[in-house]
């Protein structure tokens, strides 16, 4: 596969010094974008430029290429794949996908829509959710056609399959209150490869196909700023290669697919303070928000900037879900069998980043793990409460109430699934630190540019910015806080990435 | 006072039709700002243009005028005063203001800083907070010098004084956990006029002085979009008067002080979904976010866009604070004697917008009020729980725990002030609906443009946009969520409004 700058760029190196100087002179501080008039000559041109080689960028590139456009895809890092290749590679799909049908799983577009529109954020982007639900089954067919291997195996176990199963409940569908909102169905579609390798496998297939389609893939090229015509249309982009600036002319459209900003501490502090405190920035080194800032620089609106996932992956093992999770008031606040993203959101966004998992002898972690450290241990709940410095009597009161009802198979507060519901009984009791700062608490950003369902970027007045497209975590998409299922982010990247690439290739809409 | 368009504008009406046509032709959809080249001629010019006549705009205008600049201030509505004139007119000030000293109130800049930096949002804007704390006493002197009447009277009562007292605890200083973070001091400085008239009185004084200083005040002129030079500098603004567009040339700087966006439903849904659901948009009709969108349109970053105040003004009477506030799980989640903004934030942002105040015979509202409707009544807590459909036994458990400790003068969970702490006892018990949709739940936005402490607007790359300034709720300022004290918003508007106006008059910085 191509890697590095191609001939067309290298042959124009002699122009670089002059161009960089021109740009620096003509553009005063405060110009978040360059006017076309400041660009004396172009170093290279293409129909469509894609910035970013994660799932969104690669899918956009493929679709643009299929529409007959000449496509140049640039990646700032030395390797292609973006944060998608670090992910589990799960794609959330339903309403009767080929895999669901072959495994006799019943599902409908309606139930999927009810789940996605009601179980997560208030006022989520319904236009994108609806389209996604309607077309995710066809989108899954497309993924299969890319040669991504899916096994005809379903697992009921919670958590990303460590075997080769390809369908599972990847979200909070079975936990309350989600299960009362929509009929649960397994919708997590993951490449049938063992371990945490789904993302890499998915990206390998997509990258191979993009290359075969004739997408020009170039690594080590960083997008810096957009270049605008005086009428607002996007004319191209300034990029940096080996410390030197190049001007790329774009005839049809640019797709910003540079990912989120979980690695940019200053942006996190300003935009997403709750994520700033999470212990593990979950994204590759260049999730610096540059694509988001390039878009904002030309007047784009950015939405959901405070949102992201903050996950507390307490299971597996599922046995710990018979414990209880409490806040600094010693109260339960969420069903313990909620999906990692729902539990993590409750802690990071609504409990000031602090919580503990309280286990008894049977629900304790029964193997060594460093994700959640034990910070209290004792023969009685009172001892635990004292060690955690919880308000006097609060944890005891919580446990007494919980045990009373759990003994009858009931959890009035959060209706934990019966599979995990039983009284806490039998020392030693332990408390495990679930705080965002001390626990293994991965976080990723969901804020980004405001786009139409076709990836067209909208300005602050709701108007399309001609020539500018975006997809993936560079945009405000389907993933919102709380993150209710694995696969929504890569699903959104691949699905809306394809649409953005197709729209960019069509270009020059009125 | 001047009201309406002045001669200099009216005399140029003949140019309007042609200009509007030119702009419409030259600027394609997607241009959130106009290029200077699209403006064929200017209808009017000024050194400094201020958009918005609330506290931020008027203070900016006065300071710019004092620096010798010609100042034109435009207001979109027919009346001057903005949302500030609808407010209580409280200015949060401390560290030893003249009024604090004359009333023998002890305070320090350090304690004020500890309160503002720790009791509210995580990762608040510390640069602005620090400067504000250091200079709020001098700023109060300035307000006094404007002729705003402050009485030398202090009240210990909670809530905006309905008498003529001018100093009170306007925030959550005395409630836990704030009172453990900083030594409480009364810092709410309010004009010494009875009732909810402080904002009007404050704005009357400021408007009179602005007029006397020679600020040209024009109502009925709506700012639409900014005009930019090709190097990014702000050249002027397009405004609308009587349905026709005018181009205003600005020689030194524009100050956007158009307020927030609490009246813009679409922006609320997209940026601040929690505020979308609050029953009472608390701001004047033109809090439509136009100034924020104008700034975003030229590449400005916007911060804190999800944040705002959402207040549940359950007191006065303070007697209800002996009741308890519970969530949908029947749990307490905040100290009931917290400031309205803290209680409201807890409900709107962290309890999915639902909560109830539970009172007994002595803590019930003892007069007719429509703010919070009674939705359950009974002789036992169990009856209330059933009527509210709370989880079985949960409210009873909460009350039993609360009563047990309250009888000993303790509130382990939230350390309610002893003045209000006693067991719930004696029917009839009642539940009052504190939900954001059904209760009187005023909301206002805190998101806005990213600015320096001098009101210079920053783009997405952290660079100053030359010629553009902003203040008040048009910016991301000191007020963050939770809103911890009345007076922070008008305080921020007046203080940083002055700085922005001064900086704009200085203009043309490198």
Chain A hits for B296, CB-CB cut-off 8 Å, are: 296, 299-301, 459-460
Q: Is residue A207 part of a domain?
A: yes
Task: Tell whether the model's pLDDT for residue B376 goes beyond 70.
Answer: yes
Q: Is residue B146 part of a domain?
A: no
Task: Tell whether the model's pLDDT for residue B7 goes beyond 70.
Answer: no
Q: Tell me the pLDDT tens digit for each residue of B77-94.
A: 999 999 999 999 999 999
Residue A508 C-alpha, separation from nearest chain B C-alpha, in angstroms: 12
Q: Is residue A1 part of a domain?
A: no
User: Among partner residues A29, A231, A350, which is closest to B464 by beta-carbon distance?
Assistant: A29
Asked if A122 and B273 come within 8 Å (Cβ–Cβ), the reply is: yes
d(CA B313, CA A117): 31
Please identify, among A157, A174, A195, the residue that sits at the C-terminal boundary of a domain.
Answer: A195
Q: Tell me the pLDDT tens digit for each residue of B161-178.
A: 989 999 999 999 999 999
Chain A hits for B307, CB-CB cut-off 8 Å, are: 306
Residue A469 C-alpha, separation from nearest chain B C-alpha, in angstroms: 12
- State residue A118 phi and psi, 5-degree precision: -115, -25
Task: Tell whether the model's pLDDT for residue A152 goes beyond 50.
Answer: yes
Asked if A414 and B329 come within 8 Å (Cβ–Cβ), the reply is: yes
Q: Is residue B147 part of a domain?
A: no
Q: Is residue A106 part of a domain?
A: yes
The CB-side HSE value for B229 (13 A sphere, CA atoms) comes to 18
User: Among partner residues B29, B276, B333, which is closest to A123 by beta-carbon distance?
Assistant: B276
Please identify, among A402, A433, A464, the residue that sits at the C-terminal boundary of a domain.
Answer: A433
Which stretch of DSSP H or E encloses residue B235? strand B234-241
SS3 A181: helix
Give the pLDDT band (50/70/90) at residue A367. Answer: confident
Q: Tell me the pLDDT tens digit for each residue of B275-286.
A: 999 999 999 999
Task: For residue B108, count other CB atoms closer than 10 A to its CB.
Answer: 15
B346 and B459 part of one domain: no
d(CA B131, CA B496): 10
d(CA B424, CA B120): 29
> Do residues A500 and A291 lie in contact, with contact meaning Cβ atoms separated by under 8 Å?
no
Q: List the domain range (segments joined by +) for residue B422.
A: 312-433
Least confident of A299-313, B31-45, B377-391: B31-45
Residue B272 C-alpha, separation from nearest chain A C-alpha, in angstroms: 9
d(CA A56, CA A388): 44
Asked if B232 and A450 come within 8 Å (Cβ–Cβ), the reply is: no
A217 and A250 part of one domain: yes
Which of A492, A501, A499, A503 has its CA nearest to residue A466? A503
Task: Kindly report the three-state secondary structure assignment for every residue of A12-35.
Answer: CHHHHHHHHHHHHHHCCCCCCCEE
Please identify, among B166, B187, B208, the residue that sits at the C-terminal boundary of a domain.
Answer: B187
B300 and B379 part of one domain: no
d(CA B434, CA A243): 58
Asked if A273 and B352 come within 8 Å (Cβ–Cβ), the reply is: no
A94 and A81 part of one domain: no
What is the total count of domains within chain B? 3
DSSP per-residue string spanning B31-100? -SSEEGGG--S-SEEEEEEEE--SHHHHHHHHHHHHTT--EEEEESSSSS-TGGGGS---EE--SS-HHH
Asked if A32 and B392 come within 8 Å (Cβ–Cβ), the reply is: no
d(CA B13, CA A480): 49
User: Among partner residues A269, A273, A301, which is closest to B296 by beta-carbon distance?
Assistant: A301
SS3 B116: helix
* Chain A residue nearest residue B456, CA to CA: A30
Q: Domain containing B266 — which CATH number?
A: 3.50.50.60
A319 and A427 part of one domain: yes
DSSP per-residue string spanning A311-349? -----SSGGGGGSEEE-TTS-B-S-TTS-HHHHHHHHHH
d(CA A277, CA A4): 36
* Chain A residue nearest residue B404, CA to CA: A393
Asked if B401 and A412 come within 8 Å (Cβ–Cβ), the reply is: no
Q: Which two tokens stand for residue B264?
A: 């813009």
Average pLDDT score over chain B: 93
Task: Tell whether the model's pLDDT for residue B20 goes beyond 60.
Answer: no
B99 and B226 part of one domain: no
Residue B425 C-alpha, separation from nearest chain A C-alpha, in angstroms: 20
Chain B hits for A231, CB-CB cut-off 8 Å, are: 26-28, 31, 35
Mean pLDDT, residues A68-77: 97
DSSP per-residue string spanning A137-168? HHHHHHHHHTT----S-EE-SSSS-SSS--EE
Q: Is residue B149 part of a domain?
A: no
B303 and B319 part of one domain: no
Give the pLDDT band (50/70/90) at residue B196. Answer: confident
B64 and B211 part of one domain: yes
B301 and B229 part of one domain: yes
A15 and A52 part of one domain: yes
Task: Tell whether the model's pLDDT for residue A333 goes beyond 80.
Answer: yes
Task: Tell whether the model's pLDDT for residue A490 goes beyond 80.
Answer: yes
Q: Which two tokens stand for residue A246?
A: 């190049």
* Chain A residue nearest residue B397, CA to CA: A401
pTM: 0.94
Chain B hits for A230, CB-CB cut-off 8 Å, are: 35, 37-38, 230
Using alpha carbons only, give the angle B156, B162, B167 rounded to the nearest 5 degrees. 45
Q: Which two tokens stand for residue B63?
A: 């300071």
Which of A218, A206, A211, A216 has its CA nearest to residue A79? A218
Q: Is residue A205 part of a domain?
A: yes
A248 and A269 part of one domain: yes
> CA-based diameter of chain B, in Å?
79
CB pairs A-B closer than 8 Å = 185
Q: Domain containing A323 — which CATH number?
A: 3.90.700.10
Residue B300 C-alpha, separation from nearest chain A C-alpha, in angstroms: 7
* Chain A residue nearest residue B303, CA to CA: A271
Distances in Å between the Cα of A193 and the Cα atoms of A87, A148, A165, A200, A208 are: 13, 10, 8, 10, 18
B210 and B233 part of one domain: yes
Residue A237 C-alpha, separation from nearest chain B C-alpha, in angstroms: 16
Residue B351 C-alpha, separation from nearest chain A C-alpha, in angstroms: 8
Asked if B231 and A401 come within 8 Å (Cβ–Cβ), the reply is: no
Asked if B392 and A405 come within 8 Å (Cβ–Cβ), the reply is: yes
Give the alpha-carbon dihedral of B477, B482, B487, B489, to 10 degrees: 30
Q: Is residue B143 part of a domain?
A: no
Task: Tell whether the model's pLDDT for residue B510 goes beyond 70.
Answer: no
Asked if A302 and B298 come within 8 Å (Cβ–Cβ), the reply is: no
């Amino acid at each position: 596969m191509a890697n590095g700058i191609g001939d067309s760029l290298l042959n124009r190196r002699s122009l670089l010094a002059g161009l960089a100087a021109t740009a620096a002179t003509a553009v005063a501080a405060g110009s978040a974008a360059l006017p076309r008039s400041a660009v004396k000559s172009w170093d290279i041109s293409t129909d469509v430029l894609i910035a970013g080689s994660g799932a969104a960028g690669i899918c956009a590139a493929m679709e643009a290429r299929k529409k007959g456009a000449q496509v140049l895809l640039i990646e700032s890092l030395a390797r292609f794949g973006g944060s998608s290749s670090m992910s589990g590679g799960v794609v959330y799909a339903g309403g009767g996908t080929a895999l669901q049908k072959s495994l006799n799983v019943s599902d409908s577009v309606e139930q999927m829509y009810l789940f996605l529109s009601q179980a997560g954020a208030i006022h989520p982007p319904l236009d994108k959710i609806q389209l996604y639900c309607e077309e995710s089954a066809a989108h899954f067919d497309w993924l299969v056609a890319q040669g991504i291997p899916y096994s005809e195996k379903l697992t009921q176990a919670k958590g990303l399959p460590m075997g080769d199963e390809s369908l599972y409940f990847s979200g909070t569908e079975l936990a309350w209150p989600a299960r009362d909102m929509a009929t649960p169905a397994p919708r997590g579609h993951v490449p049938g490869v063992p371990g945490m390798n789904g993302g890499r496998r998915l990206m390998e297939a997509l990258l191979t196909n993009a290359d075969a389609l004739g997408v020009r893939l170039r690594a080590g090229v960083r997008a810096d700023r957009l270049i605008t015509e005086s009428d607002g249309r996007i004319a191209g982009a300034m990029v940096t290669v080996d410390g030197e600036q190049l001007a790329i002319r774009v005839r049809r459209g640019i797709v910003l697919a540079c990912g989120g900003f979980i690695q940019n501490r200053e942006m996190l502090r300003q935009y997403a303070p709750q994520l700033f405190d999470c212990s593990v920035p979950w994204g590759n080194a260049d999730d610096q928000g540059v694509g988001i800032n390039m878009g904002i620089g030309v007047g784009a609106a950015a939405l959901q900037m405070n949102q992201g996932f903050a996950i507390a992956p307490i299971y597996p093992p599922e046995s710990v879900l018979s414990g209880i999770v409490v806040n600094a008031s010693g109260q339960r606040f969420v069903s313990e069998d909620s999906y990692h993203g729902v539990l993590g959101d409750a802690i990071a966004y609504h409990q000031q980043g602090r919580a503990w998992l309280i286990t008894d002898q049977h629900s304790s972690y029964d193997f060594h793990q460093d994700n959640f450290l034990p910070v209290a241990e004792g023969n009685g709940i009172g001892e635990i409460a004292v060690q955690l410095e919880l308000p006097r009597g609060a944890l005891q009161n919580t446990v007494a109430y919980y045990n009373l009802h759990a003994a009858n198979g009931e959890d009035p507060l959060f209706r934990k699934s019966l599979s995990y519901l039983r009284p806490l009984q039998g020392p030693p009791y332990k408390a495990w630190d679930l705080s965002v700062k001390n626990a293994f608490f991965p976080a990723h950003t969901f804020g980004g540019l405001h786009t139409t369902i076709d990836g067209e970027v909208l300005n602050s007045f709701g108007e399309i910015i001609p020539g500018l497209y975006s997809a993936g975590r560079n945009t405000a998409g389907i993933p919102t806080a709380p993150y209710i299922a694995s696969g929504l982010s890569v699903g959104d990247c691949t699905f809306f990435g394809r649409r953005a690439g197709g729209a960019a290739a069509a270009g020059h809409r009125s």
